[in-house]
Amino acid sequence: MKQKARFENKVVIVTGAAQGIGEGVATAIAAEGGKVILADRNLLVRDVAKRINDNNGQAHAVLADLETWEGALGVANSTLEIYGKIDISIHNVGGTIWAKPYQEYTPDEIMAEVNRSLFPSLWSCRAVLPTMISQQSGVIVNISSIATRSIHRIPYAASKGGVNAMTMSLAMEHADNNIRINAIATGGTEAPPRQIPRNPQPLSEQEKIWYQAIIDQTVSSSLMKRYGTIQEQINAILFLASDEASYITGTILPVGGGDMGMG
C-alpha cells in the first residue's frame, strides 16, 4: 500500500533540523511530499538536506542562529524567496544545557538556557506569522517538553512553560486567520549522542549524579516507565502538522508515556 503523502506540495520550515528529532521530522516530511526548509546554525544541516535531495526529496538548508530575531527572520525570508509561501513551521530548537539544582545555576547560565529554549520559538513564530496572516492559512507546531514539571532543569522548564503559554495564546489570537498553532510536549527520548553537544564540557562526578536524577525522575513519572523513541516523537509532530489535525488548535500534546507535564 502506498504511503499517504500528507505534505504533498506543502512548504514546511523545520528548525533545529541538523540532528535528532528535527532531522527526523524534516526527513519524514520530505518523504511525504513536503518541500522542506531545514534551519540550523550547525553546518551538519547541509548534509541532511543533501541526503533528502539524494533520495528524491526537496530540501534547502538555511544556516541561522535562531536565538536571534535576525536569524528567525532570515529563515522566513529565505523560505519566501525559494518557495513563495509558508504552509507549516515546526520549531524544534531547544534543550537543556546544564542539569543541576536551580541554586547551582549562575545568572549567565540561566540566561543561556532561556535564550536556547524559549527565544527560538518566540522569534520563529513572530517571523512566520505575517506571511500566514496574509495567506489566511498556516500551521505552527512548537516543540515543548513535559519538563515543565521536573527537577534539575528549572530554567529549561520555565522556558518550555513559556512556549506552552505562547502556543495557547497565539492559537486564540489567530484562529480567525485560519492558522492552527499547537505544541508537542516531548517526554524523555532515546537518542544517539549529539554530534555537537549542547554542553561541550565533560561532566563532573556531581553533575553526573544530578543528571542521573533527571533520568530516574523522568522514567518514574512516566506511566509506561520508559523513555520514548525519536520516531514516537516524530509521529506526533507529523500528526499535528498535517491536515489530519485540522480541528485541533491551542493544544499542548504530551508525548511522554503518560507523564502529562504541566501547562
* Residues 232, 233, 237: CA angle, nearest 5 degrees: 120
Active site residue 156: yes
Residue partners of 185: CB distance under 8 A and separation at least 6 = 144, 145, 146, 148, 160, 164, 252, 253, 254, 255, 256, 260, 261
For residue 68, give every residue at least 6 positions away whose Cβ sits within 8 Å of its Cβ, in sequence order, or none: 119, 123
Can you tell me the distance from the alpha carbon of 143 to that of 124, in angstroms, rounded to the nearest whole number? 12
Distance CA 153, CA 130 (A): 33
Q: Which of 83, 102, 156, 227 is catalytic?
A: 156
Give the list of residues 6+ apart from residue 231 with CB closer than 8 angstroms, or none: 24
List, by residue number, the catalytic residues: 156
